[in-house]
Structure 1
Amino acid sequence: MSGDLTSPSAVQLCYENLNTSCIKTPYSPGPRLILYAVFGFGVVLAVFGNLLVMISILHFKQLYSPANFLVASLACADFLVGVTVMPFSMVRSVESCWYFGDSYCKFHSCFEGSFCYASIYHLCFISIDRYMAVTDPLIYPTKFTASVSGICIAFSWLFSIIYSFSLLYTGANEVGLEELVSALTCVGGCQIAVNQSWVLIDFLLFFVPMLVMVTVYSKIFLIAKQQARKIESMSNETAKSSESYKDRVAKRERKAAKTLGIAVIAFLISWLPYFIDSIIDAFLGFITPTYVYEILVWIAYYNSAMNPLIYAFFYPWFRKAIKLIVTGEVLRENSSIINLSLE
């Protein structure tokens, strides 16, 4: 990803007329075009893919459920990453300069943190929801109601936003790093330094829900395996008939758990290297090369584009909903009650 840089003898500045400008290290035209294409593709997927998820769930009444409202809210977090974070990071990553002002630099970092934590707490609550659905699919609708879903969504958003904005706007993240921050400060730069104490708290806020999700999904897959064996071992036709509805519901819930489990694994693979590198950086004097940081951050960003692809691959109802949206069928009267064949 390093590309061919311009000659070091010809020093370029982000703002040529300012002595306090950051040094610019642009890529040559070929790698530059490729990077814009790769990053731009991620932006388009994150924005339009998650927009399709939100429209599908909020438009088609058949998809109205507490669990799906959580999924729609998760898609909203990923959509906002695609709108407020990725396009600006794309320019910064390729041009090696920040051209969007100091104020938006801080907002950009706050949005990045807020939507990342919002995603992981949504996924954590979704994993708990799936556990309840798989363990007792018939009683589950009375336990995980719309109000419970609303509380989970409100907590995920409020906690994430309050934490991220409070940390960065109080300057608590820079305590003890004043000399480093002063040395890094230049016009056209957007570096946010986080001290050792807060980087550990950041990691714990990521690690604890991650641990919950891994534990819960491990239990879910063990239960699903036991249920599958039980169904296979049934030899009595009468028993099969009496259990058919429960088995069908259980099968649907297991499939949903599997799909969302894949989304969780994708999230962890995307964000875990970034958080580990943040800890290493904070304790070893911020030694990570810029290009390594950019690779890690874009792997994390690309997670926001992955969930719609996962849904499209595993959910026939989502593929049908996309077709109806793209062809304009959703604009017709009573389109919200179209049967998407969930069974």
Structure 2
Amino acid sequence: KVPAPLQDSNSSSNRSGVPGAPLNLRRAVPVGMVLASFISFAIVGNILVILSVVCNRHLRIPTNYFIINLAIADLLLSTTVLPVSATLEVLDYWVFGRIFCDIWAAVDVLCCTASIMSLCVISIDRYIGVRYPLQYPMIVTEKRALLAMLGVWILSIVISIGPLLGWKEPPSQDDTVCLITEEPFYALFSSLGSFYIPLAVILAMYCRVYVVAKRTTKNLEAGVMKERAEGSGELTLRIHCKNQQVQELCPASKAGGGGASAARSTLTVKLLKFSREKKAAKTLGVVVGMFILCWLPFFLALPIGSFNSSLRPPETFFKVIFWLGYFNSCLNPVIYPCYSREFKQVLVLQILLIILQPHHLQPQVQTVQTGTSTTNTTNNTTTPSSTATSSNRY
């Protein structure tokens, strides 16, 4: 996105924060506490999402690689950009110098672009998963997923590096001001590349996902599977597709009933795969919806204000929609557990392990009875396997 501090070019002269002036604690303390809580939640939430996939083998699938990529972008934003933005909001003036202003703005663009590019890749992945559920593992391989992630970051760097190479307006003479890069061509380039073009791809993919999912659901519900126990001993599997009917005959007599079992197994696998892909598409659809809700107000207000200064929103409103975009970074770790049972179970387990870790490290005394005697044993670990082993020894 176009880098944006919390002051626009018109409001810089009306800043309440001035270097050396007393800090308004009545405003700074509550604002700082709210923003610190928000940033902490975003950091912890995205770390848990990353650990959930990395530490659990059954979650290491290409779709979740893209989710990790999204979480990495949000985590990078939360650890490098948001603390600086919060400092700017609390103090109401820039304290980090001109060079760091340019670097901070570029990293801001990098993280936000990588985030929406990741959503773009996820939408394409979900379309492939719903459209080709059985062929999906062959189409979206681990190598291709990693290449897609690399491509996301390369494109994000290309879009964000422009101002660092001089593609920007002349900097302000006041080092306490870090303004929006309003160079017209770069603003147009970055807005299209970072938001509008990927957004168009995302919406197109999810429209296709909806159409394919609706059609496939209807076809699967209309499918009829009938096994004849007597007569020819054939299994007939019919799937009605509007005006087309596909019929497979599996002679059970030749395979001793194996044909019927194989057909049932194939249908079951297809139903399970499609159901899983459809559920994943719904979950990630919510992620995309919240992303649009959080970022669209900012990307509407920014170009309108750039082309016509009289239409620029008030400073307070601009701050709200600016932080609304940042708020998206802590929403995704909440959405995954709410809409995905697997993520919910894994995240709960991760939290419990963190909370109970000190208890697990404490030695425990275990009493084991053998006949009429009693033996006390001390264990330095409480893993189920070690406890079972200790009990079996006696």
> Which range, TM-score by smaller chain?
0.7 to 0.9
Aligned pair in 2 of structure 1 residues 69, 25: CA closer, same or farther (>3 Å)?
farther
Give the aligned partner of residue 192 of structure 1. 180
Q: Secondary structure at the match of 1:173?
A: coil
Measured after TM superposition, the shift of residue 146 of structure 1 is 1.1
Matched, 1:254 2:278: yes
Shifted more, 296-305 versus 104-113: the winner is 104-113
Aligned pair in 2 of structure 1 residues 228, 260: CA closer, same or farther (>3 Å)?
same
Cα distance in 1 for partners of 2:198, 2:64 equals: 20
* Higher relative contact order (CA closer than 8 Å, sequence separation 6+): 1
Contact kept, 8 Å, 2:17 with 2:23, in 1: the verdict is no
Matched, 1:293 2:325: no
Shifted more, 213-222 versus 312-321: the winner is 312-321
Measured after TM superposition, the shift of residue 123 of structure 1 is 0.8
Cα distance in 1 for partners of 2:203, 2:56 equals: 31
Cα distance in 1 for partners of 2:337, 2:33 equals: 23
Cα distance in 2 for partners of 1:25, 1:255 equals: 54
Q: Secondary structure at the match of 1:138?
A: coil
Give the aligned partner of residue 128 of structure 2. 132
Contact kept, 8 Å, 1:195 with 1:282, in 2: the verdict is no
Contact kept, 8 Å, 2:74 with 2:115, in 1: the verdict is yes
Cα distance in 2 for partners of 1:50, 1:317 equals: 16
Could you tell me the percent identity over the aligned residues? 29
Structure 2 unaligned residues grouped into runs of 5+? 1-14, 228-236, 238-262, 361-380, 384-394
Give the aligned partner of residue 82 of structure 2. 86
Give the alignment partner of residue 100 of structure 2, picking from 82, 89, 104. Answer: 104
Counting matched residue pairs gives 308
> Which protein is richer in strand relative to its size?
2
> Which protein is richer in helix relative to its size?
1
Give the alignment partner of residue 48 of structure 1, picking from 44, 51, 55. Answer: 44
Cα distance in 1 for partners of 2:31, 2:41 equals: 15
Structure 1 unaligned residues grouped into runs of 5+? 1-10, 17-23, 336-343
* Letter aligned with residue 271 of structure 2: D
**What is the TM-score normalised by the length of structure 1?**
0.82
* Letter aligned with residue 91 of structure 1: T
Matched, 1:280 2:304: yes
Matched, 1:312 2:337: yes
Cα distance in 1 for partners of 2:77, 2:53 equals: 19
Cα distance in 2 for partners of 1:313, 1:27 equals: 39
Measured after TM superposition, the shift of residue 237 of structure 1 is 5.2
CA offset digits 1:63-111 (Å, max 9, x no partner): 1112211111110000011100111111212321122333322221111
Matched, 1:149 2:137: no
Measured after TM superposition, the shift of residue 138 of structure 1 is 0.7
Q: Secondary structure at the match of 2:133?
A: coil
* Letter aligned with residue 353 of structure 2: G
Q: Secondary structure at the match of 1:293?
A: helix
Give the aligned partner of residue 217 of structure 2. 228
Q: Which runs of 4+ in 1 moved over 4 A?
A: 24-28, 237-240, 329-333
* Letter aligned with residue 168 of structure 2: N
Cα distance in 2 for partners of 1:126, 1:12 equals: 43
Give the aligned partner of residue 156 of structure 2. 160
Measured after TM superposition, the shift of residue 235 of structure 1 is 4.5
Matched, 1:207 2:196: yes
Give the aligned partner of residue 207 of structure 2. 218
Give the alignment partner of residue 56 of structure 2, picking from 47, 60, 77. Answer: 60
Matched, 1:36 2:61: no
Cα distance in 2 for partners of 1:84, 1:237 equals: 60
Shifted more, 74-83 versus 289-298: the winner is 289-298
CA offset digits 1:237-269 (Å, max 9, x no partner): 554945111101100000001111111111122
* Letter aligned with residue 204 of structure 1: L
Give the aligned partner of residue 388 of structure 2. none
Give the aligned partner of residue 72 of structure 1. 68
- 1:316-331 to structure 2, matched below 5 A, reads 316-328=341-353
Give the aligned partner of residue 18 of structure 2. 14
Cα distance in 2 for partners of 1:12, 1:135 equals: 55
Measured after TM superposition, the shift of residue 324 of structure 1 is 2.2
Contact kept, 8 Å, 1:25 with 1:95, in 2: the verdict is no
**Which entry has the higher C-alpha Rg, 1 or 2?**
2
Contact kept, 8 Å, 1:66 with 1:145, in 2: the verdict is yes
Contact kept, 8 Å, 1:46 with 1:81, in 2: the verdict is no
Q: Give the CA RMSD over aligned residues.
A: 2.5
Give the alignment partner of residue 120 of structure 1, picking from 116, 121, 136. Answer: 116
**What is the TM-score normalised by the length of structure 2?**
0.72
* Letter aligned with residue 189 of structure 1: V
CA offset digits 1:96-151 (Å, max 9, x no partner): 11223333222211111001111111111111111111001111110111111111
